[in-house]
Amino acid sequence: MGKAHIQEAIEKVVERGDKAFIPYIMAGDPDISQLKEQLLFLEKSGATVVELGIPFSDPVADGPTIQEAGKRALNSGTTVKKVLEALSSFRDEISIPIVLMTYINPLFKYGLSQFFKDSQAAGVDGVIIPDVPLEQRPLIDEHMNRTDIALIQLVTLTSPDHRIKRLAQASEGFLYAVTVTGITGARSAVSENLESFIYSLKKHSNVPVMAGFGISTPEQVKEISSLGDGVIVGSRVVDLLHQGKREEITQLIQAAVGTPASH
């Protein structure tokens, strides 16, 4: 479990000539009782790692689709504690790494030390906290360093070179390359600067580079994953899961990782 688990899972896929795929889902959408089955479905469909959102009332990095999913999860009574309890109860039945995506407020409320301790016990491999910039990382380091949990950094198209270098070197598990400027959500076109952006990240990073935000079709999955080590797809997966269109989720995953039969 932990940092090495994430990195090894991605590298294993890349070494066999495919690309990694990380779907994002919202924990507790529509209800926490469905989380185990959702994760098992994603693993069976070929997901490399799962990014699991914890619902929060003020999600600054999320677009409308994920905000709505967060509201549904909050309305069904989902909390940080319930997510970690649910994971603890079935974690040994799921072999792929799990990364939590959350914000700093719920963690302060929960207690930082307790959060990392309970996350480690629940089999969480990594965390993404988009509202904790690199400069504020000491806030959580002392608590996180007692665990083997990876802190995954986000790096954007607008980050200056010196910052890209620092973020790339600080990230654990993988480096999250944000492929659009703005919030999450499906986009129809891909930025023309993306290739040079991902190339510069690959040059500085000791961990795999995964691209995410705005990827919504199998064609985009193929195109963008070819630039780095793989892709992260959130809003589109959340939408399809909500609509019960699971076959389309499988198609998105397999556009990167290939079909299970070819593994």
Of the candidates 72, 5, 1, 87, the one whose C-alpha atom is nearest the C-alpha of residue 38 is 87
- 192: annotated active-site residue: no
Q: Amino acid identity of 232?
A: I
Token pair recorded at residue 192: 């023309």
Helical (H) or strand (E) element with 210: strand 209-212
Q: Which single residue is written with the structure tokens 């909050």?
A: 74
- 51: annotated active-site residue: yes
Q: Which single residue is written with the structure tokens 């905000």?
A: 67
Helical (H) or strand (E) element with 20: strand 20-26
Residue tagged active-site, from 15, 18, 43, 62: 62
Residue tagged active-site, from 18, 51, 118, 172: 51
Token pair recorded at residue 16: 């066999």
**Whole-angstrom Cα Rg for the chain:** 17
Q: Amino acid identity of 95?
A: S
Which active-site residues does the annotation give? 51, 62
